[in-house]
Amino acid sequence: MTSTRKKLTEMARVIRSKNSGPFTLTLDILLQEPKDFYALREKNAFTPELIGGLYGIDPKMVQGIIYFEPAFAVKIVLPRPRPSGSPGDTDVYGAQQHAPLLDLDFQW
Protein backbone atom coordinates (compact mmCIF):
# COMPACT_ATOMS: atom_id res chain seq x y z
CA MET A 1 0.00 0.00 0.00
CA THR A 2 1.42 3.36 -0.96
CA SER A 3 0.71 6.37 1.13
CA THR A 4 0.55 9.92 -0.15
CA ARG A 5 0.28 13.25 1.55
CA LYS A 6 -2.53 15.65 0.89
CA LYS A 7 -2.25 19.38 1.49
CA LEU A 8 -4.88 21.09 3.62
CA THR A 9 -5.00 23.99 1.15
CA GLU A 10 -6.07 21.53 -1.57
CA MET A 11 -8.96 20.30 0.56
CA ALA A 12 -10.20 23.52 2.19
CA ARG A 13 -12.24 26.29 0.61
CA VAL A 14 -11.79 28.54 3.66
CA ILE A 15 -9.02 28.73 6.26
CA ARG A 16 -9.48 31.71 8.55
CA SER A 17 -8.99 33.13 12.02
CA LYS A 18 -11.11 35.59 13.99
CA ASN A 19 -11.82 36.76 17.52
CA SER A 20 -14.55 34.99 19.41
CA GLY A 21 -14.90 37.77 21.95
CA PRO A 22 -11.91 39.88 23.04
CA PHE A 23 -10.05 37.03 24.79
CA THR A 24 -10.42 34.10 22.43
CA LEU A 25 -9.17 33.25 18.97
CA THR A 26 -11.01 30.84 16.71
CA LEU A 27 -9.59 29.10 13.64
CA ASP A 28 -12.06 27.77 11.06
CA ILE A 29 -11.25 25.27 8.32
CA LEU A 30 -14.11 24.70 5.87
CA LEU A 31 -13.58 21.63 3.67
CA GLN A 32 -14.62 21.61 0.05
CA GLU A 33 -15.59 17.93 -0.10
CA PRO A 34 -17.63 16.13 2.57
CA LYS A 35 -15.41 13.05 2.12
CA ASP A 36 -12.33 15.01 3.16
CA PHE A 37 -14.19 16.27 6.22
CA TYR A 38 -15.19 12.74 7.21
CA ALA A 39 -11.68 11.41 6.53
CA LEU A 40 -10.05 14.11 8.66
CA ARG A 41 -12.57 13.50 11.43
CA GLU A 42 -12.01 9.74 11.19
CA LYS A 43 -8.23 10.21 11.47
CA ASN A 44 -8.66 12.66 14.33
CA ALA A 45 -6.32 14.76 12.22
CA PHE A 46 -6.42 17.89 14.38
CA THR A 47 -5.07 17.33 17.86
CA PRO A 48 -4.01 19.77 20.58
CA GLU A 49 -0.44 18.53 20.02
CA LEU A 50 -0.55 19.41 16.31
CA ILE A 51 -1.98 22.88 16.95
CA GLY A 52 0.32 23.49 19.92
CA GLY A 53 3.29 22.64 17.70
CA LEU A 54 2.14 24.97 14.91
CA TYR A 55 1.61 27.94 17.20
CA GLY A 56 4.38 27.27 19.68
CA ILE A 57 2.02 26.88 22.63
CA ASP A 58 1.37 24.20 25.24
CA PRO A 59 -1.22 21.73 23.84
CA LYS A 60 -3.13 22.18 27.11
CA MET A 61 -3.81 25.78 26.02
CA VAL A 62 -5.88 24.58 23.04
CA GLN A 63 -9.41 25.15 24.35
CA GLY A 64 -11.33 23.17 21.78
CA ILE A 65 -11.28 21.27 18.50
CA ILE A 66 -14.77 20.81 17.11
CA TYR A 67 -15.85 18.99 13.95
CA PHE A 68 -18.97 20.77 12.64
CA GLU A 69 -20.67 18.53 10.13
CA PRO A 70 -23.38 20.95 8.87
CA ALA A 71 -20.64 23.10 7.31
CA PHE A 72 -18.02 20.32 6.84
CA ALA A 73 -15.80 22.43 9.04
CA VAL A 74 -13.25 22.10 11.80
CA LYS A 75 -13.07 24.76 14.48
CA ILE A 76 -10.09 25.27 16.76
CA VAL A 77 -10.28 27.56 19.78
CA LEU A 78 -7.21 29.18 21.37
CA PRO A 79 -6.72 31.86 24.00
CA ARG A 80 -5.39 35.14 22.64
CA PRO A 81 -1.84 35.98 23.82
CA ARG A 82 -3.25 39.40 24.79
CA PRO A 83 -6.82 40.68 24.90
CA SER A 84 -8.00 42.44 21.75
CA GLY A 85 -6.75 46.02 21.64
CA SER A 86 -4.91 45.89 24.97
CA PRO A 87 -1.38 47.37 24.99
CA GLY A 88 0.97 44.96 23.21
CA ASP A 89 -1.73 43.26 21.11
CA THR A 90 -0.80 42.64 17.46
CA ASP A 91 -4.15 41.88 15.78
CA VAL A 92 -7.28 43.59 17.12
CA TYR A 93 -9.71 41.50 15.01
CA GLY A 94 -7.60 38.35 15.19
CA ALA A 95 -8.09 37.96 11.45
CA GLN A 96 -4.47 37.18 10.44
CA GLN A 97 -3.56 34.30 12.75
CA HIS A 98 -4.39 31.49 10.32
CA ALA A 99 -1.18 31.29 8.26
CA PRO A 100 0.51 28.36 10.10
CA LEU A 101 -2.45 26.16 9.07
CA LEU A 102 -1.71 26.76 5.38
CA ASP A 103 1.38 24.56 5.50
CA LEU A 104 -0.39 21.51 6.93
CA ASP A 105 -0.55 18.25 5.04
CA PHE A 106 -1.83 14.86 6.09
CA GLN A 107 -0.92 11.25 5.45
CA TRP A 108 -3.60 9.96 3.06
Partner 1 sequence: MKFTILSPTAILGYGFPEGSFQRGLEFCPDLIAVDGGSSDPGPHYLGSGKSFTDRSGVKRDLRIILKAAIPQRIPVVIGTAGGSGARPHLDWTREILHEIAREEELPFTVAVVASDFDKEYLQERLNQGDFVPLEFDGSLNSQTLEETPWVVGQLGVESFLPALESGAQVILAGRAYDPAVFASLPISRGFDKALALHLGKILECAAIAASPGSGSDCALGVLYADSFELIPLNDERNFTTESVAAHSLYEKSDPFHLPGPGGTLDLENCRFRNLGRGRVEVRGTRYLPADSYTLKLEGARRVGYRTISIAGIRDPRMIADLDSILTKVQGRADMILEKEGVGGQVWFHAYGRDGVMGALEPLAKKTIPYEVGLVIDAVAPTQEEANTRCSVIRSTLLHYGYPGRISTAGNLAFPFSPSDLGAGEVYEFSVYHLLEVTKEDLPGLFPFVIETYGGTK
Residues near partner 1 (CB under 8 A) are 14, 18-24, 26, 28, 30, 54-57, 63-64, 66, 68, 70-73, 75, 77, 79, 81-88, 90-93, 96-97, 99-100
Residue 51 CA to residue 37 CA, distance in Å, equals 18
Residue whose CB is less far from partner 1, 10 or 88: 88
Residue whose CB is less far from partner 1, 100 or 106: 100
Task: Return the sign of the alpha-carbon dihedral for residues 42, 68, 59, 89.
Answer: positive
Least distance (Å) between residue 49 CB and partner 1: 14
Residue 86 CA to residue 90 CA, distance in Å, equals 9
